[in-house]
Amino acid sequence: MFGKANLFFAFLSFIRNFGLQPRLLALGKANLFFAFLSFIRNFALMKVYVFNPENDMALADGRPGYTPPALIRQMRSDLSWLPKWWAEEDDVVWDGTSPLHLSPGDEICPWGWSPALVHQLSQAGVDASFLPSADALERLRQLSHRRTAVEALHQQQADGLCGPLLRGESLLCQSIDQLFPASDTSERLFKSPWSSSGRGLMPSGQPAARAWCRRILRQQGSVVAESRLDKLADFGMLFRLDGAGGVEYRGLSLFHTNESGAYTGSWLASEGEKLSWLMQYVPPQVLADVRHWWEQHLTRYAYRGPLGVDMMLTADGGICPCVEVNWRMTMGHVAQLLTEQGHRGKLLVHYIYGQFCAEVEAFQ
């Protein structure tokens, strides 16, 4: 394997041989650094992609032997091929069971990391040197707790982000009394600390809400209570972090969810088209301020990998700049990769005739 110094000289040789010095130098130091990181990532001999959509639930459980619900196991099985959409010719898309033989320089790129996935990869023969440590997994588990999103929204409010357009209230509760205060009968949405894509949600007005909250408090120690917003549309911003304070903005995400909050599809369009659509409802400077806030805020985290922040436009012209923070791959990232390949239209995920399927539907 190349050392860091030799890799950097290889990078310099690469840009000299292809006459790229003027263009790269014009990018400035920060973007030149990201170009170098991208070169290193692409230098990996082989990438092993894993679609493990149960990741957030596996983090909640925290055990290496975690078994997800049957429907989620089926989703992983039915859509295990999904990374083939962006994998290179020499890469591997792991089916979850086959033995794996990795060489120095290879890289594992899962949907998300959890102790359960590390255990599965170890069982497939992957050496520990390719896998995150138990300490790293615990740090990721704590980052993935909804506490991170609650604190971010509170900080955005304190910073005056979005001014009078900011919407959303979020509270991390550790008791039933906090969740159901006698003095407040307004409708709220309860969320379990670790969950995703419409799972782990409970409206406060449901008859089973109290029992559900007690169960989540017992299992996960807390419940997030959010104000119910009159949603106009879901959207998000995509980033990639290098683990050393570097934050790369990857683009906007316009996506759809069903009534229960589960993901159903994304718009495949250029950044300009997505921005133009959003500008019908929110000033462009507000969107620029939100992007800048996240680019600064995320520098404090040692996480390395893709990250997506879910946001919301409200029917009264407001914006919630932090609904969820996903410390993993997201369907928004998939949509962005497909767009970069030249696709235009919609990325759709269905459950139909007892099967999960994903497809790209071109605009007519």
- pLDDT at residue 331, rounded to an integer: 96
Tens digit of pLDDT for each residue in 123-142? 999 999 999 999 999 999 99
Of 15 and 240, more confident: 240
- pLDDT at residue 27, rounded to an integer: 53
* Lowest-pLDDT range of 54-68, 186-200, 284-298: 186-200
Q: Is the pLDDT of residue 43 over 70?
A: no
- Say if residue 316 is exposed, middle or buried (CB neighbours under 10 Å; 0-12, 13-18, 19+): exposed
Q: Is the pLDDT of residue 6 over 80?
A: no
Radius of gyration of the chain (CA): 21
Could you tell me if 118 and 36 are in contact, meaning their C-beta atoms sit under 8 angstroms apart? no
Calculate mean pLDDT across residues 151-179: 97
Calculate mean pLDDT across residues 150-164: 98
Q: How far is CA 292 from the centre of its chain?
A: 18
Measure Cα distances from 161 to 186, 282, 298, 300 in Å: 25, 13, 16, 19
Q: What share of the chain is helix, strand, coil (3-state, %, to 5)?
A: 40, 25, 35
Highest mean pLDDT pick, 10-19, 37-46, 182-191: 182-191
Half-sphere exposure of 18 (CA within 13 A, CB side): 9
- Say if residue 310 is exposed, middle or buried (CB neighbours under 10 Å; 0-12, 13-18, 19+): buried
- pLDDT at residue 70, rounded to an integer: 95
Q: Is the pLDDT of residue 186 over 90?
A: no
Could you tell me if 224 and 212 are in contact, meaning their C-beta atoms sit under 8 angstroms apart? no
User: b/e map of 245-266 (b: 16 or more CB within 10 Å)?
Assistant: eebbebbbbbbeeeeebebbbb
Could you tell me if 108 and 48 are in contact, meaning their C-beta atoms sit under 8 angstroms apart? yes
Name the pLDDT band for 293 (thresholds 50, 70, 90): very high
Q: In whole numbers, what is the pLDDT of the chain averaged over residues? A: 90
Measure the CA dihedral 281/286/287/293, to 10°: -150
Q: Is 6 left (phi over 0), alpha (psi -120 to 50) or beta?
A: alpha
- pLDDT at residue 258, rounded to an integer: 87
* Lowest-pLDDT range of 165-169, 202-206, 337-341: 202-206
Q: Is the pLDDT of residue 306 over 50?
A: yes
Of 344 and 258, more confident: 344
Q: Is the pLDDT of residue 24 over 50?
A: no
Q: Which residue has the tokens 């049957």?
A: 70
Q: Is the pLDDT of residue 7 over 60?
A: no
**Nearest alpha carbon to residue 327 among 309, 307, 310:** 307
- pLDDT at residue 255, rounded to an integer: 96
Tens digit of pLDDT for each residue in 98-114? 999 999 999 999 999 99
- pLDDT at residue 353, rounded to an integer: 93
Can you list the domains of the chain with their CATH numbers? 4-43 (no CATH), 47-143 (no CATH), 169-228 (3.30.1490), 231-362 (3.30.470.20)
